[in-house]
Amino acid sequence: MSDDRKRKPEKVSDVLAAVLERAGLTERMAQAGVIPEWPRLVGAQIAAVTEPVALQRDGTLVVAVRTHAWMTELSLLEPELLRTLNADASRPPIARLRLVLRRSP
């Protein structure tokens, strides 16, 4: 019998964590945790007109925004938003926001 057959099964979560670690993606996955938390972090009013769509390698969070007026408002609020997004010291910080106009369906 080969050594592979003698090994105990591993949890999928442990295998995935090891793969992410080897690929150097552990920090980015932690950083991407702001995406599902977006509505709670920015509040209902901002969440209603925005959607985080991507996280770039340099730590830039790309956010789709419904209108030009909101893009202007959010650009002025960027320092405050970054403080809120980066309040959890256990994850790597978001470096900046890149606001893009959301295309109409």
- Give me the tens of pLDDT residue by residue for the chain, a chain 105 residues long: 455 567 788 887 777 667 767 766 667 777 888 999 999 999 999 999 999 999 998 999 999 999 999 999 999 999 999 999 999 998 899 999 999 998 766
Burial category of 1 from C-beta neighbours within 10 Å (exposed 0-12, middle 13-18, buried 19 and up) = exposed
**What are 12-25's pLDDT values in tens digits?**
777 766 776 776 66
On whether the pTM is more than 0.75, the answer is yes
Domain that includes residue 10, residue range: 3-101
* Percent of the chain with pLDDT strictly greater than 90: 60
d(CA 76, CA 93): 19
User: For the chain, how many structural domains are there in total?
Assistant: 1
Query: Which CATH number do you get for residue 70?
Result: 3.30.300.180
Distance of CA 78 to the CA centre of its chain: 16
Mean pLDDT of the chain: 87
Q: What is the pLDDT of residue 18?
A: 74
